[in-house]
């Protein structure tokens, strides 16, 4: 978007195009001659890490502002949880059994997107990690409703391609996990966590820590699948050991269905 306050100055696009049309000489071929902002080798130097961090923070923020997105509902969950129609190909029986949470994530995202569309897509926009599994289910549910959804992808050796249901204009790609996690939470009004692995655990505990330490406002924090979560994490043992307080166990709630989650979110915001 062009800023009229600086329109009296020659814009960067024009100078970049002009710089690429200069005569071919030893001087113009030298890397030192490249415009700094148009020099990928320079931008990827270790010393430019602070600039890259800033760019990853700014680009999704500016685009979401331009699209009028004011709040999100975030879905975390495993990339390996299959669509029930394809659960026979799951790596383990447990993953196959967990496939019904794909349907719950899809249903939840569809219903939340229908609510979002009543605000012209400004509030409670579904945001996922943009990949397969639960993330795909979330974006797919929003697509079913005919609305937009956000995908916050990250470059990985595996599972790095966006799923086909993310809104193209809201599909972002990250190098830095830290900045990606900031964008998950900057607009969040609810967090829904489905069964998952290391990535899901990382995102879950980071968000809970921010709420616990008053760095982020309390919000509906919903853990889908009590049997799964109580099996892999002994929450009560943390409280009994004194490493967390009993009150910290109230920062989140276990749910099983999309409708149950939506009722909790609706009640929470109707009471504010």
Task: Encode pLDDT of 235-245 as tens digits.
Answer: 999 999 999 99
- Return d(Cα 170, Cα 243) in angstroms, integer: 39
- Taking alpha carbons only, the member of 116, 186, 187 closest to residue 147 is 116
The total of other beta-carbon atoms located within 10 Å of residue 265's CB is 20
Kindly tell me if the per-residue pLDDT of 12 is higher than 70.
yes
User: Could you count the other beta carbons within 10 Å of the beta carbon of residue 71?
Assistant: 17
- Dihedral class, residue 124 (left if φ above 0, else alpha if ψ from -120 to 50, else beta): left
What values do phi and psi take at 110, rounded to 5? -60, -45
* Cα 79 to the center of its chain, rounded Å: 13
Q: Does the pLDDT value for residue 84 go beyond 90? A: yes
Q: What is the pLDDT of residues 48-79, one digit of tens each?
A: 999 999 999 999 999 999 999 999 999 999 99
Query: Which pLDDT score, from 0 to 100, does residue 272 have?
Result: 74
**Which pLDDT score, from 0 to 100, does residue 3 have?**
56
pLDDT digits (tens, 9 = 90+) for 118-137: 999 999 999 999 999 999 99
Q: Which residue has the tokens 């929450």?
A: 235
Q: What pLDDT score does 6 carry?
A: 57
Which tokens sit at 40? 């990928």
Fold of 72-270: Rossmann fold (3.40.50)
Quick check: 7 pLDDT over 80?
A: no
- Span 40-47, average pLDDT: 97
Contacts (Cβ under 8 Å, ≥6 apart) of 192:
73, 74, 75, 76, 105, 108, 222, 224, 261
Contact partners, residue 120, CB within 8 Å, separation at least 6: 68
Query: Average pLDDT for residues 87-115, to the nearest whole number?
Result: 96
Contact 162, 130 (CB under 8 A): yes
Q: What is the pLDDT of residues 133-165, one digit of tens each?
A: 999 999 999 999 999 999 999 998 876 689 999
Question: Whose structure tokens read 């406002």?
Answer: 217
176-233 pLDDT, tens per residue?
999 999 999 999 999 999 999 999 999 999 999 999 999 999 999 999 999 999 999 9
Give the pLDDT band of residue 271 (cuts 50, 70, 90): confident
SS3 state of residue 122: coil
Spatial separation of the C-alpha atoms in residues 77 and 224, rounded to whole Å: 9
Q: What is the pLDDT of residue 20?
A: 86
Q: Which residue has the higher pLDDT, 10 or 102?
A: 102
């Amino acid at each position: 978007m062009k800023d009229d306050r600086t329109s009296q100055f020659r814009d960067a696009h024009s100078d970049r195009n002009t710089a690429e049309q200069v005569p071919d000489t030893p001087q113009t071929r030298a890397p030192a001659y490249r415009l700094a902002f148009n020099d990928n080798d320079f931008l990827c130097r270790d010393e430019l890490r602070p600039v890259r961090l800033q760019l990853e923070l700014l680009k999704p923020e500016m685009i979401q502002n331009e699209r009028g997105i004011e709040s999100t509902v975030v879905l975390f969950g495993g990339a390996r949880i299959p669509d029930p129609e394809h659960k026979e190909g799951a790596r383990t029986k447990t993953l196959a059994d967990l496939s019904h949470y794909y349907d719950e994530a899809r249903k939840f995202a569809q219903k939340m997107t229908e609510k979002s569309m009543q605000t012209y897509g400004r509030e409670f926009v579904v945001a996922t990690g943009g990949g397969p599994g639960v993330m795909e289910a979330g974006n797919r549910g929003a697509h079913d409703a005919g609305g937009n959804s956000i995908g916050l992808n990250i470059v990985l050796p595996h599972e790095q391609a966006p799923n086909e249901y993310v809104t193209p204009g809201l599909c972002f790609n990250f190098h830095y996990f830290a900045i990606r996690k900031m964008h998950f939470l900057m607009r969040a009004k609810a967090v829904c966590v489905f069964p998952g692995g290391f990535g899901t655990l990382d995102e879950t505990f980071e968000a809970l820590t921010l709420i616990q330490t008053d760095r982020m406002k309390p919000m509906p924090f919903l853990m889908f699948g009590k049997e799964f979560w109580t099996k892999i994490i002994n929450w009560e043992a943390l409280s009994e050991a004194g490493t967390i307080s009993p009150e910290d166990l109230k920062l989140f709630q276990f749910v099983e269905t999309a409708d149950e989650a939506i009722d909790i979110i609706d009640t929470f915001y109707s009471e504010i």
